[in-house]
C-alpha cells in the first residue's frame, strides 16, 4: 500500500510523519507549512521541524513516458535530437561567418587608416623639406603671353611651372626636330584626308543597326572582377588590349576569339593601356607608379618606366611611336623614350596648388597634348616649350577622360558631372555640351579614326554623330559600368569593356 501526502494527495518522494496528527506528509511541503504557520496542518497544534519523523520506504521507479516505449518512438526521439543539433550547428556557423566578416571589415579599415596616415606623414615630411630648402631654381620659367602652339593661336599662360629634363640629354635638338618633322607630315596628310569621308566608313544607318555580336567573359580573373581599360591595334583592329583589376593586361584576337598573351607584372590594377599602332608592343600603367613596355609576342616586359612617385593615371603614345606621355597623381606629366625607358622631361602641373592629373592625351599632330585635373580643369600644353598654353574650365568634379578628334579641331572632355563638353581648339571655347542622364558616369571618350563619330562609355555605351552631335545608338548590354570603348577599322565594329568583366563587340 503506497503512502499518500495529506497535503498534496500525491505519493511523497521524502515521506515523514507528524507525531501530533499521525499523518504522512511530503517533507518539503510540510516544512514550508510549518515555516509559515508553526502548527500541524491537520490538528493546528504547535509543531516544529525537529519533531517530524522520517519514514524509510523503497524508492519509487517512475515508468518511462509512453513516447519511449517502442522502437519507432525511440527513433523519432533520436531524429528530433539530431534535427535540434543540426539547427544549433547551423546557427553557430552563421554567427561564426558574421564574426569573420566583421573582423575582416575592421582589419580592412585599420589597414586603410594606416596607409592614409603613412601617406600623410610622407607628404608632411616632403612639404617640410621643401619649405626648408626653398630657393630659386634655374628650371623655373615664366611663360610670356605669346602664341606657342601652331594649332592653338593667341593663348596666354598665367602659371609658372617647374620643368625637369634628363641630365643625359633630355629634350635634345634631335628629339625636337623629330617631333616637328612628324607634326608637319601629319598635318599635311590630315588636310588631304579632311576633304572627303574615308572610303568604306560605316554610315550612320549602319551604326544605328549595330547590335551585340559577341561577348567574352573569361579574359580576366573572376576573383577580382572588372576591366578598366581598352585599346585596339590601329593596323589590325582585331587585336584588342585590355587592363583589369586583377593586375593583368590581356591581348585578345577578335576573329579567332583566342587570348594571344597575358601580361603579368604590375603589383596593382592596370588602369591605362595603349597598343602600339604599327608594332606588336603594348604599354600599361598602374597605381603602382610604374609604366611597363611589353613585347606581346613573348608576353614579356622589355622596359619599366619609373617617371612618377604616385599612381599613374593616364598614358598616350606619340605619333612617332617612340615616345610616351604619362600623367600622375603626383601632379606631374612626363615624356619618356619607350626604347630606353628613360624619362626625357618631366613637368609639374601647377607649383602653386595641388592639381593631381587624372588623364592625358596627345593631339594628332603630337606637338600639343591635353591633361585633365582633379580640380575640373583641362590643360593644353606645348610639348616643345613644356608650357601650359590654354586652360578649359567649366566642368565640376575630376576630369575622367579627354579625346582629340582626328582632324585636330575638336576636343571632347568628361568629368564627374554627367556631361560631355566639346571644345573648338581654333577658337578656344566650348561650343557644345551634351547633357546626359542625372548621375550618368562617363568613364571613356573616343573618336573614330575618321573623326565622324564620338563614342561615350559609362553607365551605358552611346554613339554620337560629329558636327550634328546627335545620338545615333545606345548599347545597354553591360551589366556594370562601361569603362572603355573603341572603334574598329572604318567603324566596322565597336568594342567595349566594363566592370562586369565582359569584352563586347557590336556590328
Please report the domains of the chain, with CATH numbers, ordered by start residue: 1-64 (3.30.40.10), 173-178+201-506 (2.130.10.10)
Confidence label for 451 from pLDDT (cuts 50, 70 and 90): confident
Question: How many angstroms separate the CA atoms of 399 and 374, rounded?
Answer: 6
Can you tell me the mean pLDDT for 117-145? 67
Give the whole-angstrom CA distance, residue 25 versus residue 336: 105
In this structure, are strands 161-165 and 503-506 parallel, antiparallel, or unpaired? unpaired
Tell me which residue has cell 567573359: 217
Q: What is the pLDDT of residue 1?
A: 60
Provide the pLDDT confidence category of residue 51 given band limits of 50, 70 and 90: very high
Please provide the size of the chain in residues.
Answer: 507
pLDDT surpasses 80 at 505? yes
List, for residues 201-222, the tens digit of each pLDDT value. 899 999 999 999 999 987 898 7
Question: With bands split at pLDDT 50, 70 and 90, how would you rate the model's confidence at 137?
Answer: very low
Residue 132: pLDDT band (50, 70, 90) is confident
Q: What is the pLDDT of residue 66?
A: 66
% pLDDT > 70, the chain: 90
Asked whether the predicted pLDDT for residue 489 surpasses 60, the reply is: yes
Distance of alpha carbon 167 from the chain centroid: 37
DSSP 380-432: EEETTTTEEEEEE----S-EEEEEE-TTSSEEEEEETTSEEEEEETTTTEEEE
Is residue 151 very low, low, confident or very high in pLDDT (cuts 50, 70, 90)?
very low
Contact 376/415 with Cβ under 8 angstroms? yes
pLDDT band for 138, please (50, 70, 90 cuts). very low
Q: How far apart are CA 379 and CA 364, in angstroms?
A: 16
CB 402 within 8 A of CB 372: yes
- Distance, CA of 298 to CA of 51 (rounded, Å): 105
Average pLDDT score over residue span 120-124: 92
> Average per-residue pLDDT in the chain?
87
* Residue 61 pLDDT > 80: no
On whether the pTM is more than 0.75, the answer is no
CA dist 454 and 265 (Å) reads 33
**DSSP assignment of 275-320:** E-SSSSEEEEE-TTS-EEEEETTTTEEEEEE---SS-EEEEEE-TT
In terms of Cβ atoms closer than 10 Å to its own Cβ (0-12, 13-18, 19+), residue 190 is: middle
309: phi then psi, degrees, rounded to nearest 5: -105, 0
Q: How confident is the model at residue 29 (pLDDT cuts 50, 70, 90)?
A: very high
- Which residue would you say has higher pLDDT here, 387 or 157? 387
Per the CB < 8 A criterion, the answer to whether 21 and 42 are in contact is yes
Confidence of residue 2 (pLDDT cuts 50, 70, 90): confident
Higher pLDDT, 499 or 191: 499
> 14 and 3 in contact (C-beta within 8 Å)?
no
User: Which pLDDT belongs to residue 385?
Assistant: 86
**Residue 154 clears pLDDT 80, i.e. is over it:** no
Which contiguous run of DSSP H or E holds residue 78?
helix 71-132
When pLDDT is cut at 50, 70 and 90, the band that residue 194 belongs to is low
DSSP state of 441: P
Per-residue pLDDT, 134: 62
The pLDDT value recorded for residue 155 is: 44
DSSP bridge pairs for 273: 284
- Tens of pLDDT, residue by residue over 302-360, are 999 999 999 999 999 998 999 999 999 998 999 999 988 899 999 988 777 777 899 99
pLDDT at 422: 94
**Helix/strand/coil percent split, the chain, to 5:** 20, 35, 45
* Mean local confidence (pLDDT), 91-95: 92
Q: How many angstroms separate the Cα of 303 from the Cα of each of 293, 379, 401?
A: 5, 29, 26
The set of residues, in sequence order, having a beta carbon less than 8 Å from that of 287 and lying 6+ positions away, is 268, 269, 271, 311, 312
In angstroms, the CA 474 to CA 348 distance is 39
Per-residue pLDDT band for 65 (boundaries 50, 70, 90) equals low
The answer to whether 459 touches 437, Cβ cutoff 8 Å, is yes
Q: What pLDDT is recorded for position 183?
A: 87
CB 240 within 8 A of CB 281: no
User: How is residue 69 written as a grid cell?
Assistant: 516505449
- How many beta carbons lie within 10 A of that of residue 173, not counting itself? 7
Phi first, then psi: what are they for 32, rounded to 5°? -65, -40
Amino acid at each position: 500500500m503506497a503512502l499518500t501526502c495529506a497535503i498534496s494527495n500525491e505519493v511523497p518522494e521524502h515521506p515523514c510523519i507528524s507525531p501530533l496528527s499521525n499523518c504522512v506528509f511530503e517533507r518539503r511541503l510540510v516544512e514550508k507549512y510549518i515555516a509559515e504557520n508553526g502548527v500541524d496542518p491537520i490538528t493546528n497544534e504547535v509543531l516544529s521541524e525537529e519533531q517530524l519523523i522520517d519514514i524509510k520506504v523503497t524508492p519509487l521507479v517512475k515508468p518511462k513516458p509512453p513516447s519511449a516505449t517502442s522502437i519507432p518512438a525511440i527513433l523519432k526521439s533520436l531524429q528530433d535530437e539530431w534535427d535540434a543539433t543540426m539547427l544549433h550547428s547551423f546557427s553557430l556557423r552563421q554567427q561564426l561567418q558574421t564574426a569573420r566578416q566583421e573582423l575582416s571589415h575592421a582589419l580592412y579599415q585599420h589597414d586603410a587608416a594606416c596607409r592614409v596616415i603613412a601617406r600623410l606623414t610622407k607628404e608632411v615630411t616632403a612639404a617640410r623639406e621643401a619649405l626648408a630648402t626653398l630657393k630659386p631654381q634655374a628650371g623655373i620659367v615664366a611663360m610670356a603671353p605669346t602664341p606657342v602652339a601652331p594649332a592653338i593661336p593667341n593663348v596666354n599662360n598665367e602659371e609658372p611651372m617647374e620643368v625637369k629634363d634628363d641630365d643625359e640629354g633630355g629634350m635634345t635638338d634631335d628629339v625636337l626636330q623629330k617631333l616637328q618633322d612628324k607634326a608637319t607630315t601629319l598635318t599635311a596628310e590630315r588636310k588631304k584626308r579632311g576633304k572627303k569621308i574615308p572610303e568604306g566608313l560605316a554610315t550612320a544607318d549602319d551604326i544605328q543597326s549595330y547590335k551585340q555580336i559577341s561577348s567574352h567573359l573569361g579574359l580576366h580573373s573572376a576573383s577580382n572582377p572588372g576591366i578598366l581599360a581598352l585599346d585596339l591595334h590601329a593596323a589590325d583592329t582585331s587585336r584588342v588590349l585590355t587592363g583589369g583589376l586583377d593586375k593583368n593586361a590581356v591581348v585578345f584576337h577578335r576573329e579567332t576569339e583566342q587570348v594571344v598573351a597575358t601580361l603579368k607584372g604590375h603589383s596593382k590594377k592596370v588602369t591605362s593601356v595603349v597598343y602600339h599602332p604599327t608594332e606588336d608592343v603594348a604599354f600599361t600603367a598602374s597605381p603602382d607608379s610604374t609604366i611597363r613596355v611589353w613585347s606581346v609576342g613573348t608576353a614579356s616586359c622589355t622596359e619599366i618606366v619609373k617617371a612618377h612617385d604616385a599612381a599613374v593615371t593616364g598614358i598616350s603614345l606619340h605619333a612617332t611611336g617612340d615616345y610616351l606621355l604619362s600623367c600622375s597623381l603626383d601632379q606631374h606629366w612626363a615624356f619618356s623614350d619607350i626604347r630606353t625607358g628613360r624619362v626625357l622631361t618631366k613637368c609639374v602641373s601647377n607649383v602653386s596648388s595641388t592639381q593631381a592629373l587624372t588623364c592625358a592625351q596627345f593631339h594628332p599632330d603630337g606637338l600639343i597634348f591635353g591633361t585633365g585635373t582633379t580640380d575640373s580643369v583641362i590643360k593644353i600644353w606645348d610639348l616643345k616649350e613644356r608650357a601650359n598654353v590654354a586652360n578649359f574650365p567649366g566642368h565640376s568634379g575630376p576630369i575622367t577622360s579627354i579625346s582629340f578628334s582626328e582632324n585636330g579641331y575638336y576636343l571632347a572632355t568628361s568629368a564627374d558631372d554627367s556631361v560631355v563638353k566639346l571644345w573648338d581648339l581654333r577658337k578656344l571655347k566650348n561650343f557644345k555640351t551634351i547633357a546626359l542622364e542625372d548621375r550618368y558616369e562617363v568613364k571613356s571618350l573616343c573618336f573614330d579614326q575618321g573623326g565622324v563619330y564620338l563614342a561615350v562609355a559609362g553607365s551605358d555605351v552611346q554613339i554620337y554623330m560629329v558636327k550634328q552631335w546627335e545620338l545615333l545608338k545606345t548599347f545597354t548590354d553591360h551589366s556594370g559600368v562601361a569603362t572603355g570603348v573603341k572603334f574598329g577599322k572604318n567603324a566596322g565594329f565597336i568594342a567595349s569593356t566594363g566592370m562586369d568583366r565582359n569584352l563586347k563587340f557590336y556590328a
